[in-house]
Amino acid sequence: MKICVLPGDGIGPEIIAQAVRVLSSLDLKFELEEALLGGAAVDASGTPYPEATQKLAREADAVLLGAVGGPQWDTLAREIRPERGLLGIRKDLNLFANLRPAILYPELANASTLKPEVVAGLDILIIRELTGDIYFGQPRGIREENGERVGFNTMVYSESEIRRIGHVAFAAARKRDKRVCSVDKMNVLECTQLWRDVMIEVAKDYPDVELSHMLVDNAAMQLVKAPKQFDVMVTGNMFGDILSDEASMLTGSIGMLPSASLDDKQKGLYEPSHGSAPDIAGQGIANPLATILSVAMMLRYTFGLEEQALRIEAAVKKVLAQGFRTGDIYERGTSRVGTREMGDAVLAAL
């Protein structure tokens, strides 16, 4: 088991340290190699996804990532911004399937801004296509036209790209409540008409799974109105970016949500759904649980170690039940702890 560890920027190194402690406590044989990605890589080598990192990431079975980005790099040229490093590694490793679960832990029911009865028991899996769409489509740019600047990007999906993410969604739904809601904007965009057509074709291979369709604007509304209607949602790169942030906030605690980005074999990049939180970086107060839960996803999806994955998830539930809370999920009557103490609590629960 070769794991490439990319702490990244902001709170990345702090939360990764706790995730690595948890991983190391499991009595598994693995090799960890650390490399730079994002702003840290720009500072060290002038590029957000350096060759040394590429080499390690390609050779590894799995990548564990903290987070990238921060205000000090926001004024850099677009090609060397930290976010480019993230998009670069996704594309380079062909990580087309992004799994973003949004689960409400019963102990955190009050963290949501929605009424408890609307979100109690919430368990949605958003499957976002991650290597296509307007994020990567050509042509793109800003040009002069008739004496003014015109900005343009291209939304594009091939049939095969839609089909492979469709299979990921239906296969995932089979292990859950057997319902897939495909999100598109077929009333306006041809690209997403094709998306819908191909999803209907893919569904024929999964007669036991129910397929429904929703336009993205309605999906955004339904997510806050009646989020529990969803089991698996599958959508393109840009809609998925937006809807997954929205879904994560239903739980009120983005600091709790892991994610996996998978290729067509078993390789994956695992990272918390939250960002680098530069405002609290270096203070030892960030919530490491999303990163620790990302380790659980890594053990499950890349290494097939379901039992160990469940152990980590149970340990996280236990520390919540014991009342340990980092600042982002703190409420009166619980014990506020820092990043490392939260790691200690998970280790003790394990």
User: Among residues 23, 62, 86, 95, which is the contact residue for ligand IPM, using CB under 6 A?
Assistant: 86
Q: Which stretch binds Mg ion (CB under 5 A): 34-42, 102-110, 218-226, 235-243?
A: 235-243
Does residue 61 belong to the site contacting ligand IPM (CB under 6 A)? no
Distance of CA 323 to the CA centre of its chain: 26
Closer of 78 and 149 to Mg ion (Cβ) = 78
Closer of 87 and 220 to ligand IPM (Cβ) = 87
Number of chain residues interacting with Mg ion (CB under 5 A): 1
Closer of 128 and 185 to Mg ion (Cβ) = 128
Q: Which of residues 65-84 bind ligand IPM (CB under 6 A)?
A: 83
Cα dist. 126→50, 106, 169, 230 in Å? Answer: 30, 20, 9, 9
215-244 footprint of ligand IPM as x/- string (CB under 6 A): --------------------------x---
Q: Which partner, Mg ion, ligand IPM, none, binds residue 242 by CB below 5 to 8 Å per kind?
A: none
* Beta bridge mates, 148: 145
Q: Which of residues 173-192 bind ligand IPM (CB under 6 A)?
A: none
Q: Which partner, ligand IPM, Mg ion, none, binds residue 86 by CB below 5 to 8 Å per kind?
A: ligand IPM
Distance of CA 95 to the CA centre of its chain: 12
* Beta bridge mates, 212: 181
Does residue 107 belong to the site contacting ligand IPM (CB under 6 A)? no
CA distance 106 to 299: 24
Q: Which partner, ligand IPM, Mg ion, none, binds residue 350 by CB below 5 to 8 Å per kind?
A: none
Closer of 61 and 241 to Mg ion (Cβ) = 241
Closer of 89 and 319 to ligand IPM (Cβ) = 89
Tell me if 93 sits within 8 A of 62, measured CB to CB: no
Report the nearest approach of ligand IPM to the CB of residue 210 (Å).
27
Q: Provide the annotated active-site residues.
A: 135, 185, 217, 241, 245
Does residue 92 belong to the site contacting ligand IPM (CB under 6 A)? no
Report the nearest approach of ligand IPM to the CB of residue 241 (Å).
4
Closer of 95 and 104 to ligand IPM (Cβ) = 95
Report the nearest approach of Mg ion to the CB of residue 123 (Å).
21
Q: Which stretch binds Mg ion (CB under 5 A): 115-123, 234-242, 264-272, 303-311?
A: 234-242
User: Among residues 43, 177, 210, 241, which is the contact residue for Mg ion, using CB under 5 A?
Assistant: 241
Q: Which amino acid is at 187?
A: N
Q: Applying CB under 6 A, which residues contact ligand IPM?
A: 83, 86-87, 241
Q: Applying CB under 5 A, which residues contact Mg ion?
A: 241
